[in-house]
Structure 1
């Protein structure tokens, strides 16, 4: 393949742009905030599990308290009914039976009120525990939100650079011969480097000094011949400091 030395030299600018684009992509994928967010995820999930458990316990305790309060209301209603019947009954036997039931209801209410106090204390304790978990979640959520904001800001800055560089890269590629670009892209896809400079006998594609045999072959090539690095497969761009 033939290409002017100027066009071949332009490939080095293209390769520099591609290298930088790869660096930007790597930086975007490996932002420190992203890594920190990944580390925090187990803590986020653990706190969420604790919050769900604490919420469930509190709901159960509140439901139990409502049942007890309902039972107290039922006992009060029966006690009022029996008291009214005592006032209206003329039968001593009925009065004695009602008074016995009233005594039983009074004991039942006393027992329920003791249980109610215990459950009320448990509800209060669970509310405090849930508030503590919610406080931890709020604090951790603020840290996560701050990290996400920093991550998005950094990613945005990198994207601005990537967009501008990609535009410049496209302009450079459009100005070069299609067959040269095709070869460059093919070598870059295969070996990771599409073009590299030859400096003092060393290929910058492999960072290895070429053998004298390889250098002799390159010396015999015309200036507009496109030559490939025997080690990296990249288009080898020659210049005044190539050591030929």
Structure 2
């Protein structure tokens, strides 16, 4: 393939833009905020599991306390009924029976209230644990929101730079021979680098020094000949720095 020496040199300008675009794309995928957000998200997931377990513990205790409250209320109702019957008087045997039942109900109420008090103390601890988890969740959510804001700001900056570089690439590529750009783009798609400057007798793509027949081939090639490296197959751009 033939291309004017100045067009070949301008491939380096095009390559510089493409390198910048590749770096921006890599930066877009490897922002430190992305790893930070992923770490915090895992932390939030674990904390949410803890929150669910803590909430279940509180809910279970609430149900148990409610059941005790119901039982205590039933005992109170029976005590009120028996007290009313006792106050109304009656046969001695009936009165003794009511007194015995009231004593039993008092013991039962005391046992239920003690058990309820123990559950209420447990609930206080469970609720405190739940609130601690909620506090950690809120703090981690805040850290993730801050990291997402930094990520979005970085994305906006990268996108702006990408748009600028893409806009500058268009005129550069359009001003070069179409077949030269097609070859360059194909090589770049395969290797990541379409053209490289030959500097001091060394290919700028693979960094291998030219010697022997390969050096002679490059030296003897006309200035408008598009020369490619035998090792990396990239277009070798020759300038005064090439040392040929």
Q: What is the TM-score of this pair, normalised by structure 1?
A: 0.91
Which residue does the alignment assign to 2:166? 166
Q: Tell me by how many angstroms 1:42 deviates.
A: 4.0
Q: Which runs of 5+ in 2 are unaligned?
A: none
Deviations 1:122-163 (A, max 9, x none): 111111122222222222222222222222212221221112
Q: Tell me by how many angstroms 1:209 deviates.
A: 1.5
Contact between 2:41 and 2:144, CA under 8 Å: does it hold in 1? Answer: no
Which residue does the alignment assign to 2:229? 229
Measured in 1, the distance between the counterparts of 2:175 and 2:196 equals 19
Q: Tell me by how many angstroms 1:192 deviates.
A: 2.2
Aligned ranges 1:1-244 → 2 under 5 Å:
1-88=1-88, 90-244=90-244
Q: Tell me by how many angstroms 1:89 deviates.
A: 5.8
Contact between 1:193 and 1:232, CA under 8 Å: does it hold in 2? Answer: no
Measured in 1, the distance between the counterparts of 2:93 and 2:63 equals 40
Measured in 2, the distance between the counterparts of 1:159 and 1:221 equals 42
Measured in 2, the distance between the counterparts of 1:240 and 1:139 equals 60
Measured in 2, the distance between the counterparts of 1:235 and 1:48 equals 56
Q: Which runs of 5+ in 1 are unaligned?
A: none
Question: Which secondary structure does the structure 2 equivalent of 1:137 belong to?
Answer: helix
Contact between 1:203 and 1:210, CA under 8 Å: does it hold in 2? Answer: yes
Pick which of 162-171 and 14-23 moved more: 162-171
Q: What is the TM-score of this pair, normalised by structure 2?
A: 0.91
Question: Which secondary structure does the structure 1 equivalent of 2:239 belong to?
Answer: coil
- Size of the aligned set, in residue pairs, is 244
Measured in 2, the distance between the counterparts of 1:82 and 1:157 equals 81
Measured in 2, the distance between the counterparts of 1:181 and 1:226 equals 12
Q: Tell me by how many angstroms 1:87 deviates.
A: 3.7
Q: Tell me by how many angstroms 1:115 deviates.
A: 0.8
Deviations 1:46-73 (A, max 9, x none): 3222222211111111111111111111
